[in-house]
Amino acid sequence: MIKPLIDQFDISAEAVTGILRQTLKSADDGELYLEYQENEALSFDNGRLKTAAFHQDSGFGLRAVAGEAVGYAHAGELSAAALKRAADAASAVTRGYSGNCHAAPQHTIHRLYGEENPIGAPSFEEKTALLQKIDTYLRACDAKVRQVTASLNASWQVVEILRADGRLTRDIRPLVRLGISVVAGDGSRLESGFYGCGGRKAFADFITEENWQQAADEALRQALVNLQARPAPAGIFDGVLANGWPGVMLHEAVGHGLEGDFNRKKTSAFAALMGKQVAARGVTIVDDGTLAQRRGSLNIDDEGTPTGRNVLIEDGKLVGYMQDRLNARLMGMAPTGNGRRESYTSTPLPRMTNTFMLGGDKTPEEILGSVKDGIYCVSFGGGQVDITSGKFVFECTEAYRIENGKVGAPIKGATLIGNGPEAMHRISMVGNDPKLDNGVGMCGKAGQSVPVGVGQPHLRLNGMTIGGTQA
């Protein structure tokens, strides 16, 4: 177990607190963010270990907030000299300003995951042997397998957040991920499939033989399905989105638009719509950072606020935004535990944790059976969204035609095109099978990436625009 980061300075914790208090004496807000992190990545490709990387880093970030101006400085060493230089830089925004840096309210800190470092166990040799097993297993499963890529990633992060009132909060965050990619071929045609899983847990909790074989089978199944896929048609279709990972569309097309900064600046398509009907009735969307061992969960956010279960859209009405402390204060709202940053080199921003839609009352069979001529989107790959307009484009990595209520032939090259707020009104049926993704999501914003979760039940969307490849 690593000793407290604040004790690793070459001055006492009391002296560190004194420098912070002096830095923030005229500020509205701020904190000292301390971080230690280890990362390991192993990748097995074409029957051999292709990459093996280990990285270790530590440092601090010092923030002072005056109004909506932010002074921020960081350093990769825990020394008095570096802290004093950072204090001089960060406090520049408070010169001539008279703010009031309130004490943080008392909170109960969650305990959503263990503190064990997943990098140490299994051993490097055992992880390499597991990746070899996955490669051998898949090549023996089907003669069409042309290439197998398997990866294991783990990180262990320790954060401490010190406020001007001397209150120190600490969180230790494990994170693991398994990814398997398969390329299958038939003659000159090659198609791929992918499956990944992970969470805030130890490797031993999910890398059992049953689990990795299930992951390998799913990656192969997707590749073989795509090998039989026909070119996707283009046009307007009624569509069905599967449960689980397709919730990434909600994350991109709706979730970002409900983050506090975009709404405070009125650059979101949802700005000034609080209390308005922004989705079909029956649609309830939640951001919940308190789900045990989930990839997007945190005991506290990166400002020291405990995460929460925040209802964003309830029965189609906009009822909440995701807030960090800065935007919450400027909007006259309460912080929601969504202040997140990539590392000590970054300032916190309002970000999603685990964002998903709650279930409805329709079975998947009822939803699929209601579509006469449409598209069934089972999995998405890359996507793009314009926060201001809400326009989005998503690539379907597994999709099928629906004909007379039956799932038909697989199709490839389909893209889902639309507008987030408009798409929310096009939801006509909500399934009773809500599901979270398997723990592989990453979210990018302002050059920062953080782990997140997504999810939803089966959904029917009327009049989807599909871009296709059919001649």
The DSSP 8-state label assigned to residue 303 in this structure reads T
Has residue 30 got a pLDDT over 90? yes
Has residue 471 got a pLDDT over 70? no
Domain membership of residue 83 (yes or no) is: no
Shared domain check, 463 and 408: yes
CATH number of domain containing 187:
3.30.160
The average pLDDT across 31-47 equals 96
The tokens describing 182, both together, are 């398969």
With a pLDDT cut of 70, the percent of the chain lying above it is: 100
pLDDT in tens, 373-402: 999 999 998 778 888 888 889 899 999 999
The pLDDT confidence band at residue 100, using thresholds 50, 70 and 90, is: confident
pLDDT in tens, 227-279: 999 999 999 999 999 999 999 989 988 999 999 999 999 999 899 999 999 99
Shared domain check, 412 and 350: yes
Pairwise CA distance, residues 226 & 224, whole Å: 5
Pairwise CA distance, residues 186 & 145, whole Å: 9
Pairwise CA distance, residues 445 & 309, whole Å: 22
On average, the pLDDT of the chain sits at 94
Shared domain check, 371 and 351: yes
pLDDT in tens, 140-162: 999 999 999 999 999 999 999 99
Contacts of 227 (CB under 8 A, 6+ apart): 144, 184, 185, 186, 189, 191
Total of domains in the chain? 2
Q: Which of 23-32, 109-118, 386-395 has the lowest mean pLDDT?
A: 386-395
Q: What is the pLDDT of residue 445?
A: 93
Q: What is the pLDDT of residue 77?
A: 95
Shared domain check, 207 and 314: no
Has residue 104 got a pLDDT over 80? no
Domain membership of residue 185 (yes or no) is: yes
Give the domain extent around 392.
235-467
Domain boundary among 213, 228, 243: 228
Shared domain check, 438 and 310: yes
156 in helix, strand or coil? strand
**Cα angle value 331/340/3 (rounded, 5°):** 130
Domain membership of residue 58 (yes or no) is: no
Q: What is the pTM of this model?
A: 0.95
pLDDT in tens, 316-373: 999 999 999 999 999 999 999 999 999 999 999 999 999 999 999 999 999 999 999 9
The average pLDDT across 23-32 equals 96
Domain boundary among 184, 200, 228: 228
Q: What is the pLDDT of residue 105?
A: 73
Q: What is the pLDDT of residue 260?
A: 96
Contacts of 347 (CB under 8 A, 6+ apart): 61, 63, 70, 72, 341
Domain boundary among 228, 247, 264: 228
Pairwise CA distance, residues 195 & 182, whole Å: 9
